[in-house]
Amino acid sequence: MYELPDITWVVASALAEDLGVLPSRFTGDGEPGLDILDRDVTSSSVTGLDARYTGVIVAREACVVAGLPVAAAVFERLSAAAGLFEPVDAFPLVAEGTAVPAGTPVMEVDGLACAVLAGERTALDFLMVLSGIATRTRTWVEAAGDRLTVVDTRKTLPGLRELSKYAVRVGGARNHRMGLYDMVLIKDNHLRGVSIASAVARARAVHPGLVVEVEADTQAQAVEAVDAGADIVLLDNMDDEELARVVSVCRARAAAAGRAVALEASGGIGIERLRALAVAGVDRVSSSDLTLAPPVDFGLDER
């Protein structure tokens, strides 16, 4: 249902970090071997190689579950790196994006105990972070209602950009640009000695196929961006009264020019302002509150 990005490297890197080896051990580039399980010095010394473990991953808090395919991939990659004839089986018990109460089992895990325990923390960490983002996002989407689109920002943990934005989609919101390469966003730091009209024209000339957005701190800048033909105008750090006024002016200006423009609010916006922004006529709101959400607690319990 939700399109998962390529997680090969991020999963390999996370496992390598915990087990103290190179990520290539988990990307299929090296020879598999049981020695990888010895890197978990506790489990390998305490748990016999033939011992089995069957357990369930449980949500310790109410949340929107995100990251189940990533958690399953952790055990899959670890099993492959160890060359296990019988890989760890990680079976989801709920659908990705499901809102669950505290105490809900979300995944069953079965396999060699040393392999399950070696991958436990990494799998749980992915679930914790991604479910935290999806849960926070869902609260924003529900508070925004049908008249206001919620989007994320580029404020993500380094290395987790694509997965963080995946979790935003699971939570029901939309992604802003993925990075510096897929959309033009002209901010105040880009306007040093360059007018908004000139900046938009230059961006159109060099990247004719990309959406162009302009950040505006004032009504005058917003109007200039509309007149320049920006696809989106980001109204930054404006209070509700100012936003309503600027939105009205920009709508009239765009209509007079026979063009459409999307108006986005951002900067210091909390969830409590969403209804007011919808009334003001803003099309969408962007916030780093989504991708910087606190993790949700998960645990692995033996059955």
Contact (CB, 8 A) for 198 and 161: no
Question: Residue 233 CA to chain centroid, in angstroms?
Answer: 23
Contact (CB, 8 A) for 127 and 90: no
236, 264, 284, 289: the catalytic one is 236
39, 52, 155, 204: the catalytic one is 155
Give the pairing of strands 284-286 and 262-266: parallel
39, 52, 154, 187: the catalytic one is 187
35, 39, 52, 121: the catalytic one is 121
Residue 231 bears catalytic tag: no
Residue 165 bears catalytic tag: no
What does the DSSP assignment read for 155-219? ---TT-HHHHHHHHHHHT-B---SSSSSSEEE-GGG-SS--HHHHHHHHHHH-TTS-EEEEESSH
Residue 155 bears catalytic tag: yes
215, 224, 264, 289: the catalytic one is 215
Residue 236 bears catalytic tag: yes
**Is residue 11 helix, strand or coil?**
helix
Question: Roughly what angle, to the nearest 10 degrees, separates helices 161-171 and 113-144?
Answer: 60
Residue 146 bears catalytic tag: no
Name the residues annotated as catalytic: 121, 155, 187, 215, 236
